[in-house]
Amino acid sequence: MILGRALGRPRASAAGRSQMAEDVQQMLRRIFKGMEEDASRSAAETLSPVAAAHRILTNSFGLIPFGVYCKEGDARHSVADDALEQVLKWRPNPRMSPFVCGKILLSNAFWWGFGACWNRRDETGQVVERIPLPSDCCSIRRDSQIGLYWYDYSVEGVSHTFASYDLSFLYFETYDGVHGRGMMHLAREAVAADAMAQRYGKKFYQNGARLSGIVEVDTDASKETRDRVKGEFAQYAADDAFKVAVLDHSMKYTPLGISQSDAQFIESRTFTVEEISRFSGIPKYMLQSGKEAYNSNAQQRIDYVTDTLVPFVTQWEQENTYKLLGARQREAGWYIKGNVSVLLRGDDTTRSQFYERMVRNSIYCPDECRALEEKDPIPGGLGRQFFVSKNMGSLETVLKGGE
């Protein structure tokens, strides 16, 4: 584990690992409540809508690059700081890329309600590593005397206590700013119901989607006779489908038809997709459900970025601006910002329209757009001019009143 290596403590054997709090809670639920289906993370991961929502959210967040910028009056420009660029853009720790670090962080928030990243500093106070910590191994306690919260982690025999200012937090949902609420807290009933529907569907199709029937006999039959008749008819309900059964001794076979509730269990699974879509904020079409027009899907994609993803990005920007930067850097106008426009990377049409509008309104110059596309500047410095929409003339020409 990265945490064990960073703390310089030896790793414990698998036999020495403590049972996680979630497993204990699930055990108690089964004992006291008699839950038929386990709504734990391991069970939820086998459900396709939950797994898809987790993959889409974590991948989207991992794609977003974060950088350091400085505000000087009305001007904004990027800051070249080698130490911060190392942990934000190149390698937050020796084992992870920024994408993997961000994906793990939101993954912990998705399942457990919050993700925590340890900003490990050297003797001078400079951040040298950023390590995402496993939220399921954390217990939170409050010091009643000074009012601070402490975060106790125990991972593979390694225990360490962090103060809140040592960690950067990302919450999936929170009601008090300390404890998080994840998918397994918010959608537990929906996940458990879908797990039961999946188990029922497995049995339904294992029987060839055909239900059993009733064999009526005019006289009393011994247990041996009933078992023998039941065993023979079981063949016709499975492997010997569509074959002819021969009855004797005045036996009468009455098949049981598929009830309305049995025939609609697939619809209940579709409803679960809608539930997960509501809880996660991911459009149904991204979960491979629903039939909607292309324009509708395109608008829902924009809504997903602005309403679902940007709040996570904004939260992470503000948290890192306070936790990652020093007081003097913040006083100098430094701040952390993420670039959500990278999510348009695979959409050439939308990206080109975005560049056109930015150039036409003098927000970007052509060379800035070319840099975003990993292309060289226009020769002769021509791409550094800004343009406005009056016949696409240069800004200087328009201001002078020229054609």
Residues 355-391 pLDDT 10s: 888 888 788 888 888 877 767 888 888 888 887 766 5
Q: Determine contact, residues 111/43, Cβ cutoff 8 Å.
A: no
Task: Place 10 in a pLDDT band, splitting at 50, 70 and 90.
Answer: very low
pLDDT for 13: 36
DSSP state of 145: T
pLDDT for 71: 86
* CA atoms of 300 and 337, how far apart (whole Å): 24
* CA atoms of 39 and 23, how far apart (whole Å): 11
Task: Place 317 in a pLDDT band, splitting at 50, 70 and 90.
Answer: very high
Tens digit of each residue's pLDDT (9 = 90 or more) over 139-192: 999 888 888 899 999 887 888 999 988 999 999 999 988 898 888 777 766 666
In this prediction, residues 45-68 reach a mean pLDDT of 88
* Distance, C-alpha 186 to centroid of its chain: 14
Task: Place 236 in a pLDDT band, splitting at 50, 70 and 90.
Answer: low
Q: What CA dihedral angle connects 293, 58, 42 and 91, to 10 degrees? A: 160
159 vs 264 pLDDT, higher one: 159
The answer, yes or no, to whether residue 80 has pLDDT greater than 90, is no
* CA atoms of 122 and 128, how far apart (whole Å): 7
> Which residues on adjacent β-strands are paired with residue 75?
72
pLDDT for 394: 63
Q: Determine contact, residues 359/351, Cβ cutoff 8 Å.
A: no
* CA atoms of 62 and 49, how far apart (whole Å): 20
Count other C-beta atoms under 10 Å from residue 106's C-beta.
23
Give the DSSP H or E segment for 322: helix 310-323
Listed by start position, the domains of the chain span 1-67+78-207+259-326, 210-257
Of 84, 135, 90, nearest to 112 by C-alpha is 135
Q: Determine contact, residues 376/370, Cβ cutoff 8 Å.
A: yes
SS3 211: coil
Please name the residues in contact with 55: beta carbons below 8 A apart, sequence gap of 6 or more: none
pLDDT for 19: 43
| CA-to-CA separations, 258 to 209, 220, 232, in angstroms, rounded | 9, 29, 22
pLDDT for 12: 38
Q: Determine contact, residues 219/225, Cβ cutoff 8 Å.
A: no
Which of 16-30, 127-141, 207-221, 302-316 is least confident? 16-30
* Distance, C-alpha 40 to centroid of its chain: 16
* CA atoms of 5 and 118, how far apart (whole Å): 13
159 vs 244 pLDDT, higher one: 159
What percent of the chain shows pLDDT beyond 90?
21
* Distance, C-alpha 276 to centroid of its chain: 12
* CA atoms of 368 and 351, how far apart (whole Å): 14
Mean of the per-residue pLDDT values for the chain? 76
| CA-to-CA separations, 58 to 111, 305, 346, 403, in angstroms, rounded | 11, 13, 17, 50
Tokens of 136: 């399921």
DSSP state of 275: H
The Cα diameter of the chain in Å comes to: 109
Task: Place 237 in a pLDDT band, splitting at 50, 70 and 90.
Answer: low
Q: Determine contact, residues 126/148, Cβ cutoff 8 Å.
A: no
Task: Place 92 in a pLDDT band, splitting at 50, 70 and 90.
Answer: very high
Which of 9-18, 188-197, 394-403 is least confident? 9-18
The answer, yes or no, to whether residue 118 has pLDDT greater than 90, is yes
Tens digit of each residue's pLDDT (9 = 90 or more) over 265-287: 555 556 678 888 888 888 888 88
Of 58, 56, 115, 78, nearest to 337 by C-alpha is 78
Tens digit of each residue's pLDDT (9 = 90 or more) over 11-45: 433 333 444 455 555 544 444 444 444 557 777 77
Strands laid side by side in the 138-142 sheet: 138-142, 149-155, 158-163
Q: What is the DSSP string of 231-273?
A: HHHHHHTTTTTTPPP---TT-EEEEPPPPHHHHTHHHHHHHHH
